[in-house]
Amino acid sequence: MKAAVMEKQQKPLDAIAAACAFLEERLEEGASLSEVAQAAGLSPWYLQRLFKKHLGISPREYLDAKRAERLRAELRQGEGVASATYGAGFGSSSRVYERAAQQLGMTPASYAKGGAGAEIAYTVVPSPFGGLLVAATAKGVCFVALGEEERMLRELGEEFPQAKRIERDDALLAPAVEDILDYLKGQTPHLDLPLDIRMTAFQRRVWQELLAIPAGETRSYREIAEALGVPQGQRAVGTACATNPVSLLIPCHRAKRTDGGLGGYRWGLPRKEALLALEKRLAAKA
């Protein structure tokens, strides 16, 4: 009864803020759902529900995301991998390495200084949409860009400023490029290539939702947010789309404004409009 009264008195966003603050104070030792709920003045099940509704993730996923953020920050500041691992709240180095592919896109030692130690191959080819740059590690594609070669190479370098090696290798990337060009030429409606990208828990959910949108269709940022259970999260959805490093492979061009406007697109609105028109033609032929 007491918990029910507290739940009515506590404003949802205030409760979430209190829970988030508590979790951020407990990154190293962690906290159970019951402990977090108690700090927020709610029952565990209600807190879980609020998190899913307003943030789109569970308290546990929020804790993991914040740990990953601290890990990245400490690695960038020059902390050793072991020190940063424990400082971020991961109980052992094995736990963070197990999650590295999802949270960093590469091992912590590699991410430490902008991809230090990473070996990245890239190629640049002409396409119906201008220049196309595709870059990959041994695990998969890590960067895709459209536009002027100089700008694309600059952004690739900014993404991995401390990579061990970034070298052009047209032959190595030829199969991936062929698949992407087939798509851009309207010869195939789908792209399915292995990826090596880092992401937060929320970005992962947004990008999965983008992948679920059929070619030839679009969804508004609001619709995507609502599908994720975060009806007020359309701006966060837009940010997740804007930070997508492998556009085309994760089709952020299928996300539009609620009023039907194109919204933004990293590689220019004319390309976004052309991509959507291409997919509509492909869908009409299917």
Catalytically annotated residues: 252
Q: What is the DSSP letter of 112?
A: T
At residue 247, the 3 state secondary structure works out as strand
Nearest to 237 by CA among 219, 225, 250: 225
Contact 183, 191 (CB under 8 A): yes
CA dihedral 32, 34, 37, 42 (to 10 degrees): 170
Question: For residue 143, what is the enclosing H or E element?
Answer: strand 141-147
The Cα angle at residue 115 between residues 252 and 235, in degrees rounded to 5: 30
Phi and psi based region of residue 114 (left: phi greater than 0; alpha: psi -120 to 50; beta: remaining): left
HEC sequence for 152-187: HHHHHHHHCCCECEEEECHHHHHHHHHHHHHHHCCC
Q: Please list, in sequence order, all residues whose beta carbon lies within 8 angstroms of the beta carbon of residue 170, skipping any fewer than 6 positions away.
A: 123, 125
CA distance 46 to 90: 27
List Cβ neighbours of 35 (8 Å cut-off, separation of 6 or more).
Answer: 22, 26
Written as one string, the DSSP assignment of 3-36 is HHHHHHHS-HHHHHHHHHHHHHHTTTT---HHHH
